Amino acid sequence: MAACLCVFVSVSVCLLVIGVWVCVSCLGPVSISTMAGCAPSAGPTSTYRLNDGNEIPIIGFGTYRIQPGQETYASVKTALQVGYRMIDTAELYRNQADVGRACRDSGIPRAQLFVTSKLWDAEHGYDKALQAGRKSVRELGLDYIDLYLIHSPGANSREGGKIVETWDALLQLKKEGLMRSVGVSNFGVQHLDALETHAREMPVVNQFELHPLVFNERAALVQYCLDKGILVQPYGSVLSGHEDLLRKASAMARTHRKTPAQVLLRWGIDQGFPVIPKSVHPERISENLNVFDFALSANDILTLNSIGGGKLPDYWNPLTLAVHAGDVRPK
């Protein structure tokens, strides 16, 4: 069955059916972009076009909870060797330098890599965010960051999120050429609304926990991002490897002759989400990339979503946090 990647922009291409977006027509080879619907096939080097014109790979390698130092370095090197070209890190992870060293030592040209990092809550505010963003670029040692995100709207900030003030700093870093694209993470509708209310450029990406267990509860946020041309990037796709949760996808995995983790990753890809699985085990790093020789049907996706219930097994949920704009400077 050919892969059908549906990018959430045009309702004429996608329909929301019981809380899940499914593709209802493929019109032949089309550039995957924020204004195009379906492509008949894809692979690990395929990309989505962001709303600023830059491109992001369909699949990447996450580094959350990977220990700084040799463990991060070795895992990222393995990921790059087997074919990943997007690496996701953050100031909070304390492994930016190791990610950068692995990228440099890989021998892969910089232009072929896509590196994401994130600004932590403690660095919110215009001046602090500028300093933190420049520091992240130095730590990575890669000249620029492809995608720089506000890590959260202030879940761990004592002074409030200052999200508009902080966003202005990210836009400035982009003007300086240190960041190619800028976006957000863990933002709810109210936080994104605040940026639009203050007439700010909208993020290219909103990265938050998204998988069948929580999709129905977060469908409204997915819809909002669709309407605003913001690409949704899930994390937590393989449920942190919890066997009791992965078993929920085991029957479907047997049908497709895949692992439950591969089915859950395909769940995201078939709905137009760029996914970022993580592992420190070389065999699983390779396995997570091997998801381009099958596809899920609309019924498969509906079945997976029926195992939901809103359980958040491992990750924080700042989506309902109040909005704190900060010191908003005139445009």
DSSP assignment of 262-282 equals: HHHHHHHHTTT--B----S-H
pLDDT, tens only, 250-286: 999 999 999 999 999 999 999 999 999 999 999 999 9
Output DSSP code: residue 166. Answer: H
User: Do 41 and 29 meet the contact criterion of CB atoms below 8 Å apart?
Assistant: no
Number of H helices, E strands in the chain: 11, 11
According to DSSP, residue 66 is labeled P
Per the prediction, the chain carries an average pLDDT of 86
Catalytic status, residue 224: no
pLDDT at 207: 98
Taking the C-alpha atoms of residue 99 and residue 88, their distance in angstroms, rounded to an integer, is: 9
pLDDT in tens, 281-306: 999 999 999 999 999 999 999 999 88
How many beta carbons lie within 10 A of that of residue 191, not counting itself? 27
In one-letter notation, the amino acid at residue 54 is: N
CATH topology of domain 41-320: TIM Barrel (3.20.20)
Q: Of these residues, 93, 126, 148, 235, which one is catalytic?
A: 93
Q: Which residue type, as a one-letter code, is found at position 221? A: L
The neighbouring-strand residues paired with 22 are: 15
Question: Residue 310's pLDDT is what?
Answer: 56
pLDDT at 117 over 60: yes
Q: Record the pTM.
A: 0.88
What token pair was written down for 194?
Answer: 């605040």
| Residues found in the chain | 331
DSSP H stretches of helix in 59-152? 70-82, 96-105, 126-140
Q: Taking Cα atoms as reference points, which of 37, 40, 48, 50 lies closest to residue 10?
A: 37
What DSSP state is assigned to residue 212? T
Nearest alpha-carbon partner for 58 in 49, 67, 48: 48
* 68 in Cβ contact with 95 (< 8 Å): yes
Give the start-to-end residue ranges of the domains of the chain: 41-320
Taken in order 59, 63, 64, 66, the sign of the CA dihedral is positive
Which stretch of 23-32, 47-56, 119-128, 237-246 has the lowest confidence by average pLDDT? 23-32
